[in-house]
Amino acid sequence: MGPGVVVTGLTLGALAVVSLLAFQANGAQDRAGGARPTPSATSSGPAASAAPSASATPTVPALPTTSGSGTRVVYSVGSHYVWLVDPKKNPQVVAAYPVTPGSVEPTPGSYPVYSRTPSTTGTDGRQIEHVVRFAQQNGVVFGFSAALDGATPTTDPKAKTGGIRSSRQDGQLLWDFAPNGTRVIVVA
């Protein structure tokens, strides 16, 4: 057996091993991507729950392109989603989660967080925590919060409420992310 045959055999063997490893790595990436929980499922907090199965994980809408730049909280009145964006991080969207609005929505624009309250009673009479207020329009105060019992805002057509509710763990994320002065960008 000549040296050319040995080199050819070693080359073919190496190519087979590399191909097998590439195939396995591709499968591992697909498995990791499919089982990745949403940012809210990975958050830790007083009421953190088990991560949902891959089939139950909702699709997170993309960060709206009209959301500006810099560190900000983005709220979409159209999709009822919140994104916490920090351009110094990779990925820049550090969390994204669904919320339930009150009976009135804020006007699209840029607002600073102007007030925070650790816990209080919401306009619907529920005990809430992590209240982060960012706008007042026509006598309605708009802010993010989480109900201690997990309740969403009551949709009483006579009551004008601007509370935007999230889960407790997502409320904790926003509370930690958005001190007074943080920009809240409201998009359509």
Residue 25's domain comprises 3-36
DSSP state of 100: B
The string of pLDDT tens digits covering residues 114-172 is 999 999 999 888 999 999 999 999 999 999 999 999 988 766 778 889 999 999 999 99
What total number of domains does the chain contain?
2
Q: Quick check: is 58 in a domain?
A: no
Do 173 and 83 have their domain in common?
A: yes
User: Amino acid identity, residue 31?
Assistant: R
Do 99 and 29 have their domain in common?
A: no
How much is the CA Rg of the chain, to the nearest whole Å?
Answer: 23
The string of pLDDT tens digits covering residues 47-95 is 333 344 444 567 899 999 999 999 999 999 999 999 999 999 999 999 9
Structure tokens at 112: 């600073």
Do 128 and 79 have their domain in common?
A: yes
